[in-house]
Chain A
């Protein structure tokens, strides 16, 4: 079956512009996660959605970052007024439920802020 898909695969933007990154989770998965991986850094958690519960936004680095999940499926991560330090690979994952369930990652969106 189809895995997690993300778009675009690559995005180059100028400093100060807003960007939107999209994630389509595996059908039927109720939990969705966003992570980012910067050059030389590990993967860091950003936000996660579980069903209709309020999202856990504890990993968002600043108020320039926001995310929403519509209809319990597709999610959009928005970065406003991008900065060079936002350059990273943004990875989305989904799992059937949450807690110990395996998380399946998408291929990521490579964001470059010039």
Chain B
């Protein structure tokens, strides 16, 4: 079983739609959680960290459920520029920055 699992999609949505991505992780001792964004043939870039209380950054909302080992990302009012692959990322060990990546979920926002 992969340590971090995501639905690969693709998710095809119209502009303005709300879309949600989910991710599960297998290691209950996981410490830190992130969403990264990767554009085609580009390097990943941090979108947002995910905190236990949930957090919001503009149109993006991230939630963490430690009991279910589940992370989500909600994008409201989708823009064409949101089209990318969204990577769920976990740090499982203490005192390390070693990132464990999910396979990524592809989002395509259509006009």
Give me the interface of A with B, judged by CB distance under 8 Å: 31, 33, 35, 41-45, 48, 50, 56, 58-59, 91, 95, 97-103, 105-108
Whole-angstrom CA separation of A52 from B43 in the bound complex:
27
Give me the interface of B with A, judged by CB distance under 8 Å: 31-32, 42-46, 49, 87, 91, 95-104
Measured between beta carbons, the chain B residues less than 8 angstroms from A42 are 87, 101-104
Q: Is the CB of B99 within 8 A of A103?
A: yes
Which single residue of chain B is at the shortest CB-CB distance from A110?
B41
Q: Is the CB of B46 within 8 A of A103?
A: yes
Which single residue of chain B is at the shortest CB-CB distance from A6?
B43
Which single residue of chain B is at the shortest CB-CB distance from A108?
B43
Q: Is the CB of A48 within 8 A of B43?
A: no
Give 7 nearest A-B pairs by CB, closest first. A105-B43, A98-B97, A43-B101, A42-B103, A100-B32, A42-B101, A102-B46
A and B contact pairs by CB, cutoff 8 A, 24 listed: A31-B97, A42-B87, A42-B101, A44-B101, A45-B100, A48-B97, A56-B96, A59-B98, A95-B97, A97-B97, A98-B97, A99-B31, A99-B32, A99-B91, A99-B97, A100-B31, A100-B91, A100-B97, A102-B46, A103-B99, A105-B44, A106-B43, A107-B42, A108-B43
Measured between beta carbons, the chain A residues less than 8 angstroms from B31 are 99-100
Q: Is the CB of A45 within 8 A of B49?
A: no
Whole-angstrom CA separation of A103 from B101 in the bound complex:
13
Which single residue of chain A is at the shortest CB-CB distance from B42?
A107
Whole-angstrom CA separation of A74 from B31 in the bound complex:
28
Whole-angstrom CA separation of A69 from B96 in the bound complex:
17
Q: Is the CB of A43 within 8 A of B44?
A: yes
Shortest B92–chain A CB gap in Å is: 10
Whole-angstrom CA separation of A98 from B46 in the bound complex:
15
